[in-house]
Structure 1
Amino acid sequence: MEPGKVAFLIELVPVIALLGVIGVVGWVITTWLRVKNGYPLDGAWGQAVYPKGPDEEMIERIRLLSGENAQLRAELGSIKDRLATVERIVTDASYRLDREIEGLRGPAN
């Protein structure tokens, strides 16, 4: 090897080592923050190492949200039925005819 290339590689080694140390320190800090805040740790393929099981509060919250979801779905179904009725009335030919007759009578005084 040429002496210039060797000198360049020798100067490059501390930079590579510094980047490696920064990466490891960042990984350690990230892992520490996840543990501190209660997030489960991930394994090599993304699976949880220590998965948090559902606690009583979480189960109660899911039950309440499921009940609210069912209630909102029922209300939405009722609103859809009412809207279909209004659409049927508005597009009905007799309603249109009544509107035309009222329009021919002129404005009310």
Structure 2
Amino acid sequence: MEWGLIVPVAAITIGPISWAFTTWVRARHGYPIADKKGNTVSRIDAQTQRTIDLLSQDNDRQAGQISRLEERIAVLERIATDPAERTSREIEALRALP
């Protein structure tokens, strides 16, 4: 076996093969992909980004709605568990407001 030919060929091919394998593993597991210069390559097209933005806005809207509903439930629970006398006082105090 002649090592004089195998060593330079192996030295030249190991780098690109390892880079290709690393890129494949990163892409498969969702990590950002970098080009040969180290710049991050975006894998999301414009339509997908728009869908993500719309879903994020909808998520924020629903989170706010859930928060308001939780506050209303807390008020209803307080009304249901408080003594009637105190509840009637608070209602009368609200009626007295201008």
Q: Structure 1-normalised TM-score?
A: 0.45
Q: Structure 2-normalised TM-score?
A: 0.49
Structure with the higher strand share, 1 or 2: 2
